[in-house]
Structure formats: C-alpha cells, structure tokens
Structure 1
Amino acid sequence: MVMGRTCGLPSFPGGGDDTMMRAESPSMSFGAMPSAHRSDPSLDSPQASAVASLKDGDAPPLSSRVMDAEGWALVEHSGRVVAFNAQASVHFGIPAPTTVEHGRLPGCEWLRSDGTPLPSHEAPLARALAGEQVDTAEWTVLRPDGMRVRLQGTATPVKGGDGRVAAAVLRTRAVEALPAPLLDASRLLAEAGALLGTSVDAEAQLEPLLKLLVPTLGDGALLILMSPDADVSVAASLHVDAGRHALLRELLSRYPPDPTLPGGLSHVFVTGAVARLCVMSDEHVTLTARDAEHARMMREVGPHGCLSVPLAARGNVLGALILLRANVLHAFDAEEERVLAELAHRTALYLENARLLKEAREAVRQRDEFLGIASHELKTPLTPLSLKVQLLQKQVTVLAREGKPVPTERVSETLEVVQRQVRRLSRLVDNLLDVSRISAGRLRLEVEELDLASVAAEILYRFAPAAQQQGTELELHAPVPVVGRWDRLRLEQVVTNLLSNALKYGAGHPVVLSVDARGTVARLTVKDHGIGIAPEDLARIFERFERAVSDRHYGGLGLGLYITRQIVEAFGGTVLAQSEPGQGSTFTLELPRGDIPEEWLTAHAAPGPTSESEGG
C-alpha cells in the first residue's frame, strides 16, 4: 500500500510564476508586481528591479517561459540567494539554496571544454558579481548527482544607486533535454553493505549511510528509530544544503517526530507500508505544526516530497528510512522506491543484529559478573563452616588422646554455626534454582486461602533475633486480617526478601511492615529509614543480577528483588519502590485477593469456627 498526496509549491503575491521557489528568507518574497506599485520607494532596490524586469518587460510571456523552461536565480553580492526558481533547481539538481560562496552553487562545478573545473572566480555567477556582463554562452555543469548537463544562459550584474554591484541575475536554459539520472542500484547497495559491515557500532554508521543517498537519490534523508516502548527518535539526518541541514537538525531536535499526529509517520509505524507524503508544504504545516515557532521553522526548510519506507526485520518495524526531495515536481519513481526499500531492509537487519550482539555481550558481562559474585557468596558461608569443623576435629583428636570426653557445649556451638551457614547456602542455591525455573517458565503456584497479615507476622517473628542483634526496631501495622488465595511458600519468600533487604540497608533504623486491603486488592508495605536508592537505580533494581550498591559492602547475588517481582507478577500483582538517597526506601506490594467469599472482603476478623463445630 502506498500513500500519496498532492504537494503544492509556495505561491507568491500577485499570482506570478507558479514554478518559482522561494529562497530561504522568510522576510522576502517576490512575484509579479503591478506597475502602480513600482514607484513605491520600498520597491526601488536593485533586487526588486531585477525581479520586476524578469517578471515583466525583459522576460517573455508566462506561457512561453514555461515552454522554454528558463531557470533563473537572483544572488546578492553578499552571497545571499534572494530568489531561485524551480527550473533552476531542475537545471542544477539542487534545492533552492540560502547562500552561495564565491559565486559557486552548492555541490555544482562549472567545467571547461576539457572537463576540468573552472576556477571559482571564472564561474559565470562570480564574474557577474564582480561586475562583468556575461553574454549568452553555453556551459557544462557537473551536478551533485554526478550528471553533466549543457546549459545556455547569461549572467548580469545588478548595480545599486551608488554604482556598485549589488546583485547578479543568472538565467539558464537546457541546451538539450535533461536525461533521467541513471541509478546504479547495485553499486549503491554494495557500498551500503560494505559500510554496514565495517563496524558493529550501529549509531556511528547511520549518518555515513545517509551520505550514500544524498544527493544521489534525494536532497535530504532521515533515519528514524522506534524503541520497544514506542518512543520515536531521529537517529541521523542529512540535507545537501548546509543551511537547511542545520535548520533541519534544529527542527528535529526541538520538535521530535510524533507518529501519533495525523499526516505524520504513523502510517509507516502502524502498517509497515511505504508512504509518499508532501512534507512542510503549507497544508502539511497547517496540519502538523505544534506552535507558531514550529510552523516558522518548517516553512523555512520548505516543501519537500517525501518517500518513507519501513525499517522492518524479523516481523518487527524498527523505524523508517525517509528520503526528501526539494523539487516536488520530480516524483520518486518505482526504481528509487525499490532501492530505498532494499536498503531499508538491509539497514533494519544490521540494526537488529547489532542489538542482538549488544544484548549478547551484555548477557556475557552479566554472567561473568554473576559468576564472580556467586563464587564469593557461596564461598562466604563455607569459610566459617570449614573453620568450625576443623577446630572441632582438632579438639576431638586432642581430647581423645587424653581420654577425655568432648564437651557438649563445644559440639552444640559448632553445630549451630554449621546449621546457620548451611541454611545460608541453601537460600543461595534456592535463589539460583528459582531463577532457572523463572527463565524456563516453570514457576508453579499452589494457591490456598490464607491471611496475609498472619504471614507477615510470622516472617517478622523469624527476623526478630537478627533485628535485635542489629539494634533495629521492627513494627507491624496489620489491624485486620487480609484473606486471599495465594501460594504460602512463595508469599513467604516475597515478604522475606523485602524484609531482609530492609534490615540489610536500613542502617539500624526502624523498619515498618504494614498490611491492609482495598476491596479485592491486598497491599503490603515495607518501609525502612536507611541509605535509600538513587532515582536512576530504581528502574533496574528489579532486574536479574542488578544491585544499587557495591557488592564489596553488601553481600548477595542481586536476585532477591528480581525473584520477588516475578512471583508477584505470577500472582497478577505489582511491586513498586519509592526512595530518596539517605531517606530510606518504601516497597509496596499489591496482590489480587483471588476468588474468595464476598463477606471476607468486608470482614474485620478472620473467619472463625462455627457454633456447630464449637459444640461438636
């Protein structure tokens, strides 16, 4: 499916030449001026007189000018382009420039008969700006797209009231019909393939890729990418005209593309189909401008024909490759569309492969980091366990030689250390097994009716000795039972992880655990007053192997919150973190209560035995 839209050229006051293109100067526009206005002092400048002569007495009638296909440009002595008509754009293969340097049109070379470039001061426009009248002659021009064209024309200096040259008028006609440019698709695609194959740094290759398209296929190009979150960003932009290039970049920076706006790129992103649009025309500006400044900048860039093809790979639309052409009368043909679509497909595969490679490298980095942390964490409980066992073994050997019994206290103390470290090892191994189950989609839940407030109280009781040893006060706010259908072991694991983190990072300050309910949703909150979490770390602490603190100061595998989130989401709930550095953290867990009796949603006490069972 291909979209199409008529793209009109900007018009000029007075109903003048419809094929004229306004130069990039919002303060000035030229058109046919009624003779009654020519005596106006404001119109008495050399530039206005030159344009008037082109439009009236010195120029043939409009119909014959269209047939003769005359191109013309008016350039001030400073190099500012006052006017540049559409046929001049066709002749020189460039959009209307904003300025010229040393009389040289952007990207164009004036050639001698032997094919060598003329020095800049010998170019017709430069000679006219220097005050020389260049009579009718034939020239060969090498255009930016590589075409050589034969032009016939004149270059005339325009003097001001002080007798000095104020501007110059360049008038051209094609000596022969301009041939359609030959598109060497194979060479372009081969160069693109070589470019994309030189580096896996995707971002660094995108602008050089656009340089293969500009000016060969168009006057400008954009490469727009869409993230998995549907955020749209401009990855690269280019325009053959330096003034428009800078303006286009500023425009895209200040007003990023919005695929949801009508008349924009939504068709490409939603359907993955090719789109032909007319962008930055008066109609497009009216439809899409977000404010007056946006409209002004779009009008300064000027109307462009637009061919947009999707960047699609493996069934996903990653963005769009967009080609711009200032000469809106020169439509993109089927061959150009085919080449752009093929290039877009190759670029999409390159970007997708670069993303997969980046993810693989990140996975390897995380694996290596995890193995380092895991080996340290697994070794930590083994060290005291080994020392205690060795010490007990030596004591038993010595006492056996002396014929004395082994004291029960020493054995009991050693066994207590062994049991504590074995429990720690078991938790570490269980976490690793849970990650494996989650990754394989084998996390099973065995739901039953239970009270979340009771579970919280049990976990708090288990942590009481450790909290007392740290000097941390534990508080529980659970005024009423909150009954729901959950997996007891997994729910205990979630509360344990949250409470364990609060004690670890709470810096000895009070930890508050609260349980309440709002209708069919149960809520558990764990709040500490410890070191807190930086805002940039909040989004990643629930990811696998992620930590917001140095592992040198705080132990752990970085799996607790990841497992917590996976279990909570398996229940159909959510877990969120709020924190500020130095102000502590609050973790809020919300769980659907499941299919439970209606009266339990409003009950203020746990369901108790019936009178019959009491009597029985």
Structure 2
Amino acid sequence: MTPSPGLQPLTAGLLECVTARDVARVIVDRGAAVLGATAGLLALVSEDGRLLEIVQSQGYPADVQVRWRSFPIDANLPLSNAVRQMAPLFTSSRAEWAAIFPHLTERNQDTNATADLPLIEHGRVLGALHLSFRDERVFDDADREFLDELVQQCSLAMGRALARQQADDARRRMEFLVRASEVLTESLDYSKTLHQLAHLVVPELSDYAQVAIVDGGAIDRIAVAHELPEREAVIRELYTLYPPDPTHPNSVGSAIRTGEVQHMTGLTDEIFVKAAVDEHHLSLLRQLALTDTLTIPLSARGRTLGAMTFAMSSESGRSFRPSLISFLQELSRRAAMAIDNARLYQDAEREISERKIAEAARERAVRQREDALIENARLMTEAVEASRQQREFQVNMLSSMTDGRLILCESPGDLPSPAPRLEMEATIQEADDIFRLRQAALATAVRCGFADERTDDLLTAVSEACMNAYVHAGGGDVRVRTDGECGVIQVWIVDRGKGIDYSRLPDAMFRKGYSSAGTLGHGFKLIISFADFVYVLTGPGGTTVVIEQHRSRPEPAWA
C-alpha cells in the first residue's frame, strides 16, 4: 500500500526505528502532529497478556502518566475495550464519552473527541494508540480510512521491532548465561563468585540483587549489588537496623523455608508507610523506592541452600516479566549448583585432611578424575541439549514469524504427500532451464484456473527457488504436480548441494539483500512472501524445497 501524502512524515520516521520504544515515540509524536491531536499515548500488551503498559505518551500531566502506567485489559476503559474487541473506538464529544464511560470522571478539560485504535499484526493485538482532540469531531468515513491506514503502518513497524527485540533478548540472555557460568566456575570460594554474580546481574537484568546463604541455621547475606553503588550502604543499614521477619510470607526466610519463589509487585509509598516501624525506617525504604521484588530459593539435591533476591525501582520503571523470571530461575539454579559443588569440595577436603597423607592423596586423585569425567559428561550432555533446544527454538521461531508458511522438516516423512498428478519433470542445468520451468508452471496454473495474482505469486516463488538451486547447488531436479481437482499446485525442487546452515535462515529470510553460499540466498524471503507454504528438508546430501500454492489463498495459521 502506498502511504497517503499526509502519512509521509510518519512513514519516514518509522523506517528509521530500531526498537519498540523508537516506534512508539514516532507513532505518538508524529502521529499526533499529523492528525492534529492535542495528546496521545501508546500502550503495548504485557508479556502475560493481562495488562496494557504505556510505553510512550505526550500531552498528559506527569502524575496522570504515573498512575496510568499500566492497567488491566479486562477493565472497562477505552483503550482496553478497543484491544479486547480488536476494533477502533471513537467518541466525538465529552457528552458521548460521559455516556459510554460514566465512571471515568478524571479527564482533561481540553479534550472533546477521542480515538482509540488497536495495533493488530497478523491477527495478533500488539497494543493500542489513544489520541485526544481539543474540538468536537465527527469521524467520517474519510477520517476512519485515514486512521486505518495509519494504524496498519504503525502495526507493521511495531511488529517488526518487537520480533527483532525478542531475538535480541534471546541472544543477550544466552551470552549472559555464558558469562555467569564462567564466573560461577572460576573459584571454589562461593562468597567471592556470588558477589561477582550479583554485580553481573545489576544493572543488566535487575536494579538490585542480593544473595543470602543458610549457614548453621542462620541466614547470612553475603552479596549485595545496586545499580547506584551508594545505595548498597542503604541496603546494608536497612537489614542491619531492621532485619526482615523470616516468617513474613514474602521474605527471604519464607523462600528458604518453603522452597518457593516469592514475587511482590505494585509496591507503593503507601505500602512503605504501613510497613515502616519509624521515620528512619521509612526514609530508608523511600531511598530504595522498590516497586517489584523477586526472591528465588537456591536449591540443589533436594536442599535449600539460600536465596537470591532481585528488585526493580521506580527510577528504572522496569518489572519482572514471565520470561525474565524464568531466566532468573535458571540463573539461580546454576548458582545453587556452584554453591553445592563448592561445599561438597570443602567437605571432601576436610575429610581428606583427617586421613593419612598417602591415602588422602590417592583418594583425592581418584575423586578429581571422577569429578572431571562427570563434569565433562555433564558439559557434553548440556551442549548437545542446548544445540537441540536452539535448533527447536529456531524452527518454531521461523514458523511463527512466517505465520506457519515455512515448515522446516527433520526427515522425508515431514514433507507433504506428493499431489497425485505429475504435470512435468525436468532438470535445471543452466539458466535457460529456469525460464522453461517458469513457462511450464504458468501453463499449469492457467489450466488449473488460478487467478492472475495467485499465478504471479507462484511464478515468483518458483523462479526464486530454482535460481537458488542453480546458483548455490549447481542445479537440481524439478517436478510439478497437481491434485485431482486442480486446486493445489506443488513444485518440488531437489538439489544435491551441501545443504543449508539453519543458523543463517533468519538473515536469509529477513535481512534485505542478504546472501551467502550455504544459505538459501537472495530469493528466500520472496519465496516465503509469495508462496502459501514452503517445506524445506536439508542436509549434507542436498536440499528439497516444496512450494505449495492453492487456487484460493488459505487462511493464516492464526485465523
């Protein structure tokens, strides 16, 4: 779709965006300017799908922005209703607003008309845009068509940014786990390694981190880290003067006692006032300004060794989303294993010291060899499992990001059943063969009654797939098949190249102009864009690509 002239500044700005916040800023700032709105905000659906979280706003008082930082999707609110109904909501005047939302008395006196527009990409609601207008305004068909075009542009840009952000987050967390594992294994002094781990977590994953260890029945806090180093002294003073009640349901003691994760959200100054025992206690709590805390027990071999506490503050505005909680649980599991291994080693050392030197030396050598073999076996097992999980994650991610049109096959049995009627078969040996195959595919599509647009999509996908086989594998065999009713055309392209590196598939699909020997090359993105379904089976002995096109475009996977 060619954007309307009035949307050119917004479209140009969206093309320059990298992150979801960049996209939100352009949508709110430039979108409001294009439409003449006096205020606007954009909220995204939270990771757990329960809240709308405002990521960008303008034209609203600061206290209003803080109070409405997030709100439930199931609430009777304009933006929530638009998201639930997946449809825009317009009010042309204050009177119409009051009639629909009589319970919402807090409203800018300068606002009359409003528009609440859901951002939808491939049937999935990403969030919604709210715009306020000073004058009364009837949104006619032209207005609504213009707003629909604006929302489509914004939804596509936001969808791209969120997908890129998820991939970046996964990569960064894998890299973080590698760094954390190096820290945890570099020394048997777990007090030292846990101190380093706490400062590794902050500020990348959390604004504040603390590690507490059970030692002789007492809880010993051996590591504290805060994004602002001067706050670490505040934390120590807080726990020294006002030690938390270990029986409190959300305390470190509770996590250690029950072995369950303790998560507190929505901490406010009113809660601090109720919890403080005196003015100094309240002052310390306010200096930390925590809004979200997460305490995870450190457990190994059925025993709880301590707990790690993470916290976010109002200054950063961050919170613990489900994916981050899962990641921190995995990190805590590795920390618990490091503590347990260190203690086991220390126990072994004490036992050895009580025996004769010769016997101790002999047993230590055996233990070290056994430990090394076990550790090597564990590392090898983890490496194999990590490789399998990475491949499975990539297969699922690529399928999801293409709405199920790309199917990566593990074995020939995963390929589709061949359509019963063989229309033609040929071999690609030179560039002219591709032209002849394209003509044969065109004739088949015409005979099967495919519309021009469906035919053009098929020809584009087939040409690009054949070109990939010719350029990257030196050619291949092609078969064109149809079903009995001529409602489906299959094009099978089989080459004997060296196969496709799965790790490069995201670049091959989504990076403009990307090509590399061993990947699907320049045309793979086009193949997925124009074909209804693309099956890929690849290995060292070659690659099979099956393009399947239906006479009528099938419903997407999310429909």
**TM-score normalised over the length of structure 2:** 0.34
Q: Which has the larger radius of gyration?
A: 1
**TM-score normalised over the length of structure 1:** 0.31
Higher helix share: 2
